[in-house]
Structure 1
Amino acid sequence: MMKLRIIVIGKNGFISRCFQDYMKRYPDIEVTAISARNEKWKYYDFHGYDAVYNTTGLAHDDARKGSREQFMELNAILPAELAKKAKAEGVRTFINMSSLIIYGEMSELGSGELITGKTVPTPAGIYGESKLAGETVLNELADERFSIAIIRSPLVYNEYAIDNFLKLKKFALAYPIFPKMNNERSMIYSDNLCELVKLIAENKSSGYFYPQQEVHICTSKLVKDIATAAGKPMLLTKVFNYILYLLSKKMLLIRKVFGSLAVDLDESNHFEGKYRVVSYEESINRLTKVK
């Protein structure tokens, strides 16, 4: 049996590093990572690879730093150029990281409907717009010999995450009180995302993918679960809720923490759920083992 070969575009980003580390457990799969920061990728030979996994792009948190042209260049034009090269050089599957942000920002506090395959994308900013534009161009390249797999990813987390998730973890370990507010978030532990990519490459799969944990995650419960797993006290209280509701009208950060953005779990049963190699409970235990 020939070795499966995957080339990852983007060497040092969080998603790429997670995938490179995770795939070390599969010695029968060859993973090569190359940078897309310059045009050297244009001269890299894609022949002989089974899948290209594009993890590059200008991130949501860079919205204030990048221009519209830069977002479109990195999130739409670059993926299309990579896919065209992959197709021309005989690669069977192109896997592209998109985002749930194509459906808009977090909902108002206390509201929000579940996303399904029939939900129409309504991006609220240039990040979502550029990701959706990238999807459109990529889908035009798909045919019976070239599969396009688009991962509409929620927040990806693990014990080494450096975004807002890390702030929540630090809060859970440092303070004994947190707002109690109901919301629903789709999130995915990094190992589960990596396993999904592996399965897509192995099966030459195409279409849209909505990976997430086996349960929707409530921010308040998440913080309490982290504290409990670490042996720390945590009181959830509604005393701050009214103030948070008022602040959320003007502060996007509050909606990011306590708003909802979740996909119907029925949409995420890819490969019969076999990509979920780490449960929500186990992921919480792992979070508390790394300071």
Structure 2
Amino acid sequence: MRILVTGENSYAGRQFEKRMLELNSDWEIDFISVRNNEWKMKEFSSYEAIYHVAAIVHQKEKSENESLYYKINRDLTYELADKAKLEGVKSFVFLSTMAVYGLIGKIGEETIISKDTVETPTSYYGKSKLEAEHKISVLQSDDFQVSMLRIPMIYGYGCPGNYASLSKLAKKTPLFPKINNRRSLVYIDHLSDLVMYLIDNKAHGLFLVKNPEDVNTLVMVNEIAKNNNKRIINSNILSLFIKSFGNKFSITRKMFGNIIYKNEDCKIDGFQYTKLSFEESITRAEGKELGG
């Protein structure tokens, strides 16, 4: 089976290729850049599926780059899917985001997202991804399967963005607030396994994606530190400060707030994640060998 991945240097795409090699899959993974219009000359007919991960993300949003979000995250997505359908590709997997809900969670309060939660995106990123979902969903047919994956924060070895920042913090800070929270995250290999399953089974629809278990930021930071032979003091004093003032700032809400997907709405018929504990996933994310 031949799969075309958009985004030559995309983290999710390259990790998908790596995972297929680990699983001894005979799938052939090709990459294509979509930074310019050269992709329009590419012949798609030899591919069974397209895994579309290229997007504008991890950039500071400004009014002057609003149109770029819609051009790349929405319009390009539709153009790729439309071309794929016209040229006989069987499956189109679109990496969307939890940001379509416009929620970041609060400290001390539960935020649970289900399939019935209304989408109210507040960022260009979330809005453009949601509009992309709407546009490509109409292309769904018996011969063209469209899968849309609303993912939370990804983590894994070499992962850019929020996990990289958290890992860097865990290796340096001597103290961390003792706050118990719950956040839905997805380990990169779990995501890759799911994409493989959806393509292999010609599945379609909207999927809420997360690890089998939710994550406590405190536990995650301690686990990262442990894997790097560091020790962090879990501070009650810092936690009192964060609990008192943290909800006023998005950065502390994103780190210590509660926001999870409803477990029942993340189940996919016939699919089970590889048995890998959260602790083992952090060990691998930190580039360490399991059992080492």
Per the normalisation by structure 2, the TM-score is 0.91
Distance across 1 between alignment mates of 2:63 and 2:157: 27
Question: 1:212-237 deviations in whole A, cap 9, x for unaligned?
Answer: 11210011111122223444322212
Q: Is the 8 A contact 1:102 1:128 kept in 2?
A: yes
Match for residue 184 of structure 2? 186
Match for residue 2 of structure 2? 5
Secondary structure at the aligned position of 1:52 is classed as strand
Shift of 1:111: 1.5
Question: 1:93-135 deviations in whole A, cap 9, x for unaligned?
Answer: 1100100011113122112321111111111221111110000
Q: Which runs of 5+ in 2 are unaligned?
A: none
- 1:1-291 to structure 2, matched below 5 A, reads 4-25=1-22, 26-64=24-62, 67-245=65-243, 247-276=245-274, 278-289=276-287
Shift of 1:53: 0.7
Q: Is the 8 A contact 1:199 1:275 kept in 2?
A: no
Q: Is the 8 A contact 1:138 1:148 kept in 2?
A: yes
Distance across 1 between alignment mates of 2:63 and 2:39: 25
Distance across 1 between alignment mates of 2:246 and 2:128: 26
Q: Is the 8 A contact 1:213 1:276 kept in 2?
A: no
Distance across 2 between alignment mates of 1:239 and 1:135: 44
Structure 2 residue identity aligned to 1:58: I
Identity value in percent = 32
Per the normalisation by structure 1, the TM-score is 0.92
Q: Is the 8 A contact 1:109 1:259 kept in 2?
A: yes
Distance across 2 between alignment mates of 1:53 and 1:135: 14
Distance across 1 between alignment mates of 2:58 and 2:104: 13
Q: Is the 8 A contact 2:194 2:271 kept in 1?
A: no
The farther-off stretch of 74-83 and 23-32 is: 23-32
The farther-off stretch of 129-138 and 15-24 is: 15-24
Structure 1 residue identity aligned to 2:67: E
Distance across 1 between alignment mates of 2:59 and 2:270: 33
The farther-off stretch of 101-110 and 273-282 is: 273-282
Shift of 1:188: 0.9
Q: Is the 8 A contact 1:185 1:262 kept in 2?
A: yes
Q: Is the 8 A contact 2:150 2:206 kept in 1?
A: yes
Flag the 1:280–1:109 CA change in 2: closer, same or farther, 3 A.
same
Q: Is the 8 A contact 1:60 1:127 kept in 2?
A: no
Distance across 1 between alignment mates of 2:146 and 2:249: 37
Structure 2 residue identity aligned to 1:238: N
Shift of 1:261: 2.3
Counting matched residue pairs gives 288
Secondary structure at the aligned position of 2:100 is classed as helix
Shift of 1:165: 1.3
Structure 2 residue identity aligned to 1:33: F
Shift of 1:286: 1.8
Structure 2 residue identity aligned to 1:135: E
Structure 1 residue identity aligned to 2:252: I
Distance across 2 between alignment mates of 1:213 and 1:27: 23
